[in-house]
Amino acid sequence: MENQVELIIDSRSSNVGLARVTAASFASQLNFTLAEIEEIKVAISEAVSNAIIHAYQDQVGKVKMKLRIYEGQLEIIIKDEGQGIEDIEQACQSSYTTTDRMGLGLAFIESFMDKFELKSKLGVGTELRMVKVPAQEKQQVN
């Protein structure tokens, strides 16, 4: 089965819930457990919140969320056209933050997903790619 959906939202914190619910609903097409769906929702919250807080700062921009199911896995791409990340390696360090927040968002994403990639270019934007495979599917392969 292959399927995909794309959601484009304004970079407003009030839209984080919409992104979470959309991703959870779409992911339910696969054999994820409730705990895995919760992990997906947390990862979406962190990724979208990062785009809202860091990409556009005090301005409203667009955050694009692309969801795709293929080969028994869920691929999630969160993309913005904001200011970009100067040092990706540093940004991925646990508790690194440029605000008064805890700085654990990327660490949570990495721990909840099977694959995690972050690309960014200053002045162009950031793209975060995550892949999650249902645990039940992983067990069948092994």
- Residues marked active site are found at 46, 50, 101
70/54 Cα distance (integer angstroms) = 30
Q: Would the CA dihedral through 85, 106, 64, 52 be positive or negative?
A: negative
How wide is the angle at C-alpha 62 spanned by C-alphas 23 and 113, nearest 5°? 35
Q: Return the structure tokens found at 91.
A: 């940004």
Q: Which two tokens stand for residue 89?
A: 């390696």
- How many angstroms separate the CA atoms of 66 and 63, rounded? 10
Instruction: Give the chain's end-to-end CA distance (angstroms, integer).
Output: 21
Distance CA 13, CA 53 (A): 9
